[in-house]
Structure 1
Amino acid sequence: MKSALVSWQVWAALSACFAALTAIFAKVGVENVNSDFATFIRTIVILFALGAILASTGQWQSLSTVSVRSYAFLVLSGLATGDSWVCYFRALKLGDAARVAPIDKMSVVLVAVFGVLFLGERLSAPNWLGVTLIAAGAVLVAYKS
């Protein structure tokens, strides 16, 4: 049996839990703070936390070991992450966490579509049904009656 620490499912579930906490903590934290400044503080915390993880686990690697292609896509990913965080914090500043988070999670639907279009991934009919249900669920949870 695989160790839980090498199971993508365990890490994905932990990611979902931390993402949920992120929404709750951020909603309270952004209450009396400019959303962009709040994102800046969050980014500094992440920078230091990851630095500590890399240092404590000995995972630092030489910058020369990273290919130009990897650098390019990591920079693009970083820019997309930053844009996502800025938009997310602005949305939390303006809306309810219980409505903002589900719309943010429409990224699951977009990842499925982009994975098929750009990465050549294949999804079965049940997978597409799940994607459709996620989209419908996000809209229903975000709906304000």
Structure 2
Amino acid sequence: MKQGVLYAIGAYFMWGMLPLYWKVFEKMGAWEILAHRIIWSAVFVVALLFVTKKLRYLKSSVTEAKTWIALVLSSLIISGNWLIYIWAVNIGHVMETSLGYYINPLLSVLFGVLFLKERMRLGQWIAIVLAAIGVSVMTFHYGKVPWVAILLALTFALYGLAKKTVKLEPMMSLAWETLFVAPIALAYVLALQVNGQETALSLEAWRIVLLTLAGVATALPLYWFAQAAKRLPLSMVGFVQYLSPTITLLMAIFLFHEPFTQTHLISFGFIWSALVVFTISSLRSKGTSTAPAPNANLAFKKKA
């Protein structure tokens, strides 16, 4: 249990600190950062599978056509999620990324109802309504929809939905997801190099080293999460998951000095209330046939 808690805290703490990591490369374009993240993630995960003697099982791990399709869709969706996240962080919308990952668990469970015919308790419906009010408050006050938050929550909920049909361990799944898009990412980086638009090699040496470690920053928290999930009940993992967007929110306010107005407080207040109601309702439904636990588990698998 103690090991599980430490793994969970480590995973969500690392995910919460990612904006600080991507800020190191803010002079690079989001597409270029994404390309390097994909390439180095593929290299690191394949190397990890080789060291753990699991690489030999990579090809045979997928045998059904529907699994291939799900993996390709997952690959494209998570790449889009990573791009939005990196772009948002480096243009100063860190707070909105936090909002997106607060909303994500609720949207994931809603997708379970819409697409997987799962059922929710009244409290969980109330939570979704409260979250919708929170987003609406921000939309009406500022006159624009918080698209970054919505797109992050939407893409990750879709990623979770696609992953429902993939029965692979996290590292094996991540290997396929990065390998599918790695050739595209590599071609993009080479094209930038040929056209003289590549910026990675102009960075200081320590930034280049950190860029090559993007694969570690992507795969390590996923590995820690998998270890935590083996040792802890889903409800406890659910509590710990809110550590990540909370760290990001505090970082946006106190480190990056993004404005946190009264409107933000009201909006986040509705969403925090939604998460309290949602968590309590989910705990009460634990062990019953109406509990949306399978889909909720996907909501806890973070990817930024």
TM-score bracket for this pair, using the shorter chain length: 0.7 to 0.9
Structure having the higher Rg: 2
Determine which structure has greater relative contact order: mean sequence separation of CA pairs < 8 Å that are 6+ residues apart, divided by chain length.
2
The alpha carbon displacement at 1:100 in A equals 3.0
TM-score under structure 1 normalisation?
0.73
Alpha-carbon distance, 1:30 to partner: 3.2
Matched residue count = 138
CA displacement at 1:64 relative to structure 2? 4.1
RMSD over equivalenced CA pairs, Å: 3.1
If the length of structure 2 is used for normalisation, what is the TM-score?
0.39
The answer as to 2:119 corresponding to 1:122 is yes
CA distance in 1, matches of 2:92, 2:124: 31
Q: 1:51 aligns with which of 39, 46, 53?
A: 46
Maintained 8 Å contact 2:106/2:128:
yes
Answer yes or no: is 1:37 the counterpart of 2:43.
Answer: no
Q: Which residue of 2 aligns with 1:110?
A: 107
Distance 1:125 1:10 in 2: 33
Structure 1 gaps of 5+ residues are: none
2:68 paired with 1:71:
yes
Q: Does the residue aligned with 2:68 lie in a helix, a strand or coil?
A: helix
Inter-partner Cα distance in structure 1 for 2:123 and 2:131? 12
Is 1:84 equivalent to 2:81 in the alignment?
A: yes
Separation of aligned partners in 2, 1:3 and 1:119: 34
Report deviation, 1:119.
1.8
Residue in structure 2 matching 1:25, options 14, 21, 30: 21
Contact 1:36 1:86 in 2 (8 A): yes
Cα distance between partner residues in 2 of 1:10 and 1:125:
33
Distance 1:120 1:53, change over 3 A: farther
- Identify if the C-alpha distance between structure 1 residues 29 and 131 changes in structure 2 by more than 3 Å, giving closer, same or farther: farther
Superposed CA deviations along residues 1-38 of structure 1, whole A, max 9, x for unmatched, are x7956xxx876655432321222211x22321111101
Measure the CA separation in 2 of the matches of 1:34 and 1:16.
26
Counterparts in 2 of 1:52 and 1:65: CA distance versus 1, 3 Å: closer
CA apart distance, 1:117: 1.1
Which region of structure 1 is more displaced relative to structure 2, 44-53 or 55-64?
A: 55-64
Report sequence identity in percent. Answer: 23
Counterpart CA distance in 2 for 1:13 and 1:134 is 25
Taking the aligned partners of 1:20 and 1:3, their CA distance within structure 2 comes to 21
| Structure 1 residues 81 and 3: CA distance shift in structure 2, 3 A | same
Q: Give the drift of 1:132.
A: 5.2
Q: Is the 8 A contact 2:34 2:83 kept in 1?
A: yes
